[in-house]
Each structure stands twice: as structure tokens, then as C-alpha cells.
Amino acid sequence: MIETTLILLKPDCVSKSLAGETIKRFEAANLQIVGCKMQQLSSEKLREHYAHIADKPFYPEVEGFMQSAPVIAMALRGENAIAAVRELVGPTDSSIAPAGSIRGDLGEDKMRNIVHASDSSEAAQAELKRFFNAGEVLV
């Protein structure tokens, strides 16, 4: 099934000039870029995106990190794109992610893990609407 999903190249990816390497891996897996834009995230957008952890004591550190540099929001389309992206990025914690995965090769820890990836079809739909306006993702 052809799906469209969201990824965010996080501030560590952008500030370490790893965006090209990361995008190359998605393209090599036959995932097509159908939307892409660089954004400096607001506190409001971050609180909405991370609503599930916004009340946790570590949230201010997450927000500070996510505002430390711009992110690159990308819409990727392909066969079973959500699962394909999740496989490419590896587990959230870069310190245990396997070699060959994006997080295992390029990330540092649970927060500085290079990329956010939608974890379900429902999340992808909501996150694409959060980061892209109507008409910004190719149909």
C-alpha cells in the first residue's frame, strides 16, 4: 500500500550537516520526497506535537533542544512508507539502535537521535497537517 508519512530532521541532524546523508538513505529505500520545508518550531507547535510528554519534568529540555536549530519537515511517500521509515531510522534510543540504522549510525541518545518519524497512519495524518499547509505536499 502506498503511504505518505512525516519525518522531521531534528536540530542535531541540521547542525551537524547530516541532512544530506539522512535524506540519501530515505531515497535509496525508494521513498519519494513529496514535501519539504525548513522551520524554526514555536513553543506552541512543539507543545502540540509532544502533547503526550508535555507534562513530564524533562519536557523543557526537549523543547529547548527542538528550538536550538531549525528542523526540516519532510513528507515521504512509498510502499508501506511508515514501516519502511521506522525500519530505516531504528529505535528511539540511538545508543541501542543497530549499526546500519540512521539513529544507530548518526544519533547520540534518546533525544539527539537525528530524526522523528510518525509511528502510525493516524499519527502520520495528524503530523503532516501540523507541519504542512494545504497544497504543500504533492498528491
What residue ranges do the domains of the chain occupy? 2-131
DSSP state of 92: S
Q: Report pLDDT digits (tens) over 43-79.
A: 999 999 999 999 999 999 999 999 999 999 999 999 9
Handedness of CA 117, 121, 127, 133 (dihedral sign): positive
32 forms beta bridges with 77
116 as an active site residue: the answer is: yes
Looking at residue 77, its pLDDT comes to 99
For the domain made up of 2-131, the CATH class stated in words is: alpha beta
Per-residue pLDDT tens digits of the chain, which is 139 residues long: 999 999 999 999 999 999 999 999 999 999 999 999 999 999 999 999 999 999 999 999 999 999 999 999 999 999 999 999 999 999 999 999 999 999 999 999 999 999 999 999 999 999 999 999 999 999 8
If you average pLDDT over every residue of the chain, what do you get? Answer: 98
Q: What are phi and psi of 53, to 5 degrees?
A: -125, 5
The catalytic position among 10, 77, 112, 116 is 116
